[in-house]
Chain A
Amino acid sequence: MIKFINTLLTVAGGVSVALALFWLLNLFSERLPGPWEGRLKPFLYLLPAVAVIGVFLIYPALRTIQYSFADATSSKYVGFKNYTALLKQHDFQITLVNTLLWIAIAPALVVALGLGVAVLADRLGARGEKTAKSIIFLPMAISGVAAAAIWRFMYEVRPEGETQIGLQNAVWTALGGKPVAWLQVDTVKLNTFLLMIILIWGQVGFSMVLLSAAIKSVPEDTLEAARIDGASERQTFFRVVVPQIWGTVVTVFITVVITVMKIFDIVYVMTGGNFNTNVIAVRFINELITNGNAGRAAAIVVMLMIAVVPIMIYQVRHFRAEEAMR
């Protein structure tokens, strides 16, 4: 009970400090002489937001770059040693390959499945569509950690001869196989694919919702025109619908790519990066917390940042083009 009241007080305290801040800023701006009020007010309104972005995003990002050229405790510069040491490690090379595999496979599958479900569900009645979509959308609310708990149970293995309590092994042994410790099988990267299934399970709902909304906003008359011209159902979809929703397809794809690049909780909880399933974000935590090597941790993040730059440029261009159309 005391704990509960403490929580309430903590929450109320944090929020009221933030509110008081704006009240003070406004009070200050209204005391300013004449034209200065109008000139400075926008900046005062922006100040808290820009300040937190500066202090918690931009400044740390710059420091991270600096740390990546320094040693484990950030006390002495070592040049490119963190980068070369990492890139030479066999372990880290596997980590990079895994991350690239994730990027190459998971987003495309998420988009394809989301599109498929959106198209199929569109053909059901209103009620059926809503139910089907809600079920597929539901994992969006489930955290990576809880999803990992759910799927660890799916992939659970018991020694041969005992009853299998994990669904996958139960089906597998019923079909005549021997129980398999799925998460430890790295032949053809099977375990990495099994981890991707968890992400796909979680993200298809997101892609479905966006793509479904885009499909529904395709003007009916363009469909009708295609049909009158004798286009088949498939032709109509690929030649009329897909081009019109392409923008959304790209948006969803990029969003999932970014999610996948920094995928952390699923891998961390499922395998801890063992059995050749490691990815960059988990390796980053290993270096930072387990090995206490701030230099290498920073170098990993800088590599991640470099990988994000092209997406950033695309995003800004896209935004500019859209603003110009308004």
Chain B
Amino acid sequence: MTSTVTPVAVPEKAARRAFLRRGPVSPIRRAGWFVRGALLIICFLWLVPSLGLLVTSFRKPEAALTSGWWTVITDPFRDWTFSNYSQIWQQGAGNAFLNSLAVSLPATIIPILFAAFAAYAFTFMEFPGRDILFVVIVGLLVVPLQVALVPLLKIYSSVGLQGQFASVWLAHTGFGMPLAIFILRGYMATLPRGVIESAKIDGASHFQTFWRLIVPMSVPALASFAIFQFLWTWNDLLVALIFLGPGEKQVLSVMVAGLVGAQQQGWQLLTAGAFVSMVVPLLVFISLQRYFIRGLTAGSVKG
């Protein structure tokens, strides 16, 4: 199109610097007050709701009920407490926390394993029906998981899986599988074929090639899907509510949803419980954001 205007391909960074020096025609006009102000307001609006929850979870219940949480700005040395957290702990938050782990970890690792093998077959093996099978998987990407819930509930009840962790693992494995295969195959297709060919010539079996070459080389894609799936399974309410429900095996999201009803007595349980449920995803998210974003962009920017 217009690319004929610049005959020589200038490296992007150098081009940017050059533009900056030249001033007015720069593509990145320095941010004016309007831009800074607008972003500041948006960021403020985006943070305030979570801040309210966090602050309230550390305030004494009576104080939280009689004054707005923002009053701590002008009067910061009163009414702080950890008792909300010890109270929520006694009500079984620790148990629910472990249940959440028992659900999300296998529900993340098992689909990755299944999908990695399948993606390997789709990328590096020849077999009849390969392309059609993959197109079916692409079509399944957008199917809402609700379609499976009614029959699964009946099947689980009849084989005694209902209320077991394994029921949720298997459901999440099935629901997450199309996306997992899609992401991993997309990444594996970009790996250099020569390496795999030479491994084959050296007599490596597919099983060895997979574990020794493909898995280590695919770590970025594996990591980004793992983060997706972990956040999704940890934060999920629907599947956990239907198959595990409230009770001994309830996960954090089900517990917090249940606490909404208890909120008439005060906000301490709901705010503390919600924050307990947010800690792990936030830590995972903040520390691994790079991989997460890479996965997001690899999946769709090409479009």
Contacts and interface: CB of A to CB of B under 8 A. Distances in A.
Contact of A41 (B42, B125, B175, B256): B125
Interface in B143-172: 143-155, 165-166, 169-171
B229 to A, nearest CB: 14
A131 B68 CA distance: 28
Contacts of A134: 286, 289
A170 interface: yes
A288 B39 CA distance: 44
A30 B117 contact: no
A152 B111 CA distance: 34
B50 A150 contact: yes
A53 interface: yes
A138 B286 CA distance: 8
Contacts of A112: none
Interface string A286-326: 00110000100110010011001001100110111010001
A57 B148 contact: yes
B44 to A, nearest CB: 9
B281 to A, nearest CB: 4
Contact of A301 (B150, B231, B275): B150
B116 to A, nearest CB: 9
Interface stretch (A89-97, A101-109, A119-127): A119-127
Interface string A190-219: 000000000001001010011001100101
Given A61-B143, A124-B35, A150-B49, A117 B149 contact: no
B106 A322 contact: no
B52 interface: yes
Interface centre among A141, A151, A262, A320 (most CB of B within 10 A): A141
Contacts of A141: 231, 278, 281-282, 284-286
B259 to A, nearest CB: 8
B173 to A, nearest CB: 5
Contact of A248 (B113, B146, B301): B301
Chain A at the B interface: SS class? helix
Nearest to B122: A46
Contacts of A188: none
A145 B257 contact: yes
Nearest to B166: A14
Contacts of A50: 118, 133
Contacts of A148: 257, 260
A7 interface: yes
B181 A10 contact: no
Interface string A264-285: 1100110000000000010011
Contacts of A164: 68
B177 interface: yes
A57 B301 contact: no
A234 interface: no
A288 B149 contact: yes
B73 interface: no
B133 to A, nearest CB: 7
Given A64-B150, A308-B144, A312-B142, A139 B46 contact: yes
A11 B106 contact: yes
Contact of A15 (B106, B145, B170, B281): B106
Interface string A221-263: 1111111100001000000000000011011101100100110
Given A74-B154, A220-B19, A149 B46 contact: no
A167 interface: yes
Contact of B49 (A39, A60, A151, A248): A151
B5 A224 contact: yes
Contacts of A67: 150-151
Interface of B: 1-3, 5-6, 10, 12, 15-16, 19, 25, 27-31, 35-36, 38-39, 42-43, 46-50, 52-53, 56, 64-70, 94-95, 98-99, 101-102, 105-106, 109-111, 113-115, 117-118, 120-122, 125-127, 130, 133, 135, 137-155, 165-166, 169-171, 173-175, 177-178, 181, 189, 205-207, 231, 234-238, 241-242, 253, 256-257, 259-260, 263, 267, 270-271, 273-275, 277-278, 281-282, 284-286, 289, 293, 296-297, 300-303
The 8 closest A-B pairs by CB, nearest first: A56-B174, A143-B235, A141-B285, A49-B118, A14-B106, A60-B148, A63-B151, A149-B274
Given A120-B42, A139-B46, A210-B297, 14 more contacts: A18-B114, A30-B205, A43-B121, A48-B118, A53-B140, A138-B50, A141-B286, A143-B277, A209-B293, A221-B3, A254-B142, A294-B150, A305-B147, A320-B135
Interface of A: 3-4, 6-7, 10-11, 14-15, 18-19, 22, 26, 30, 39, 41-43, 45-46, 48-50, 52-53, 55-61, 63-64, 67, 74, 117, 120-125, 128, 131-132, 134-146, 148-154, 156, 163-165, 167, 170, 201, 204, 206, 209-210, 213-214, 217, 219-228, 233, 247-248, 250-252, 254-255, 258, 261-262, 264-265, 268-269, 281, 284-285, 288-289, 294, 297-298, 301, 304-305, 308, 311-312, 315-316, 318-320, 322, 326
